[in-house]
Amino acid sequence: MKLNKEIKNPKWKNIFKHEPNNIDCKHCKFQKAEDSIPRKDFEVKETNQKTNEITSRTIKEITLDYDDNECVRGWFWS
């Protein structure tokens, strides 16, 4: 899997510390977002809007999107 715009050492890792008893721990939230990034190729099914034919393709490259703390906000493919 190729990751476009990957930040190897995001700001949040140096700013926010783990707070074990805090249900709103930002470190945990940001780590969970980071862990959601796929590391292996995956398959998606797509429907052709004109023919309603369903096809599969393998996603081998994604682009990451970050917030101001460099926390992963999402990822997408094209």
Which residue range is the domain that position 52 belongs to? Answer: 2-76
Q: Using CA atoms, how far apart are residues 53 and 74, in angstroms rounded to an integer?
A: 28
pTM above 0.75, yes or no: yes
The whole-number pLDDT of residue 42 equals 97
The whole-number pLDDT of residue 78 equals 87
The whole-number pLDDT of residue 33 equals 95
Which own/partner contact pairs does 5-9 have at CB distance under 8 Å and 24+ positions apart? 5/63, 5/64, 5/65, 5/66, 6/64, 7/64, 7/66, 7/70
Number of domains in the chain: 1
pLDDT digits (tens, 9 = 90+) for 12-66: 999 999 999 999 999 999 999 999 999 999 999 999 989 999 999 999 999 999 9
pLDDT band, residue 6 (cuts 50/70/90): very high
Contact present, 43 and 28 (Cβ < 8 Å): no
